[in-house]
Amino acid sequence: MIGRQFPLALEFLPALGRADFLIAPCNQAAAALVDAWPDWPGPHALVYGPHACGKTHLVTAWREKSGASLLDPARLTVDGLGDALDVAPGTVGPPAWALDGLEEIADEPLLFHLLNSVRERQGSLLMTARAAPSRLNFTLPDLTSRLAAATAVVIEPPDDDLLAGLLIKLFMDRHLTVDPDVVAYILPRIERSFAAIHQAVTALDRAGLAAKRRVTVALVRQVLFQ
């Protein structure tokens, strides 16, 4: 084995290309939705699933494919909507926009107008949310019915294979080289959620850096499972 690798503190770039997205039964439909664009059944699509399940990753991959611009929920206003949706001159292909995190929008008429404007411009909008459209606590009837009519696909809780793959991927993203026995030790002991895997890798990366140690079973035991 070649020399050890030490990650740079804080600075790391997760691999967010489409090919870096791990496909499993739980997220197959969501990945297929991104791949199917521009042949979507309608202008509005929504991917929903728990925290850290890969929604932003899919949005990034889709933007690479579609050239979609990312709408900032914190800065959108009804008056500024027209400008926000302006497409740069010279853009080819159908216009596309992405909105990562529907729950960050409190102004329901704004979201309603956004959906209408995207339809009027014959464009596509990919949205993400933590929960299904019917669970987002929006109350404006025109909005809820439009969201309910969007092509919505869920990312389900991860299965065992995906958890293993994700664990490795997140280590790789941080340039951490770990042996298979580390993965084999963590998997049967950890909460089986996307968020738990993310937290574990972050904690191990930090602990490894602080102690200037490789991530080994001993370190895992100490950091994650006392």
Partner 1 sequence: MLMNLGGAMEQRLSAQWARVRARMRSEFGETAFQSWLKPLTFKGFHNGVVHLLVPTRFMQNWIESQYGDRLLELWRSENPSVTAIDVVHSATSSASHSAGHSGGHSATHGASGFSAHGRDGAAAPSANTDALNSFDAGLCAPLDPRFRFDNFIVGKPNELAFAAARRVAEADNVPFNPLFLFGGVGLGKTHLMHAIAAQLRESAPEKRVLYLSAEKFMYQFIRALRYKDTMAFKEQFRSVDVLMIDDVQFIAGKDNTQEEFFHTFNALVDQNRQVVISADKSPAELEGIEDRMKSRLGWGLVAEIHSTTYELRLGILQSKAEQMSADIPPKVLEFLAHKITSNVRELEGALNRLVAYANLVGRSITLETAQEVLHDLLRANDRRVTIEEIQKRVAEHFNVKLSEMHSARRSRGIARPRQVAMYLSKQLTARSLPEIGRKFGGRDHTTVMHAVRKVDELKQSDSSFAEDVELLRRMLEG
Choosing from 47, 59, 150, 155, the residue that interacts with partner 1 (CB under 8 A) is 150
Asked whether position 173 contacts partner 1 by CB under 8 A, the answer is yes
Asked whether position 191 contacts partner 1 by CB under 8 A, the answer is yes
Segment near partner 1 (CB under 8 A), from 52-60, 98-106, 126-134, 211-219? 126-134
Which residue's CB is nearer to partner 1, number 71 or number 110?
110
CA distance 13 to 2: 23
Asked whether position 80 contacts partner 1 by CB under 8 A, the answer is no
CA distance 151 to 129: 13
Phi, psi angles (nearest 5°) of residue 204:
-70, -40
Give 100's strand partners.
Answer: 128
Cβ pair 100, 89 in contact under 8 A: no
Cβ pair 132, 48 in contact under 8 A: yes
DSSP for 130-156, please give it: SS-GGGS----HHHHHHHHTSEEEE-P
* Cα angle value 144/59/37 (rounded, 5°): 80
User: Per 3-state DSSP, what percentage of the chain is helix, strand, and coil (rounded to 5)?
Assistant: 45, 10, 45
Q: From the CB of 213, what's the least distance to partner 1, in Å?
A: 19
Which residue's CB is nearer to partner 1, number 148 or number 203?
148
Instruction: Please tell me the count of residues contacting partner 1 according to CB under 8 A.
Output: 65
Q: From the CB of 74, what's the least distance to partner 1, in Å?
A: 22
Which residue's CB is nearer to partner 1, number 33 or number 98?
33
Binding site for partner 1 (CB under 8 A): 1, 15, 17-20, 22-23, 28-29, 31-33, 35-36, 38-43, 65, 82, 94, 109, 113, 116, 119-120, 122, 131-135, 141-142, 145-146, 148-153, 157, 160-161, 164-165, 168-169, 172-173, 177, 179-180, 184, 188-193, 196
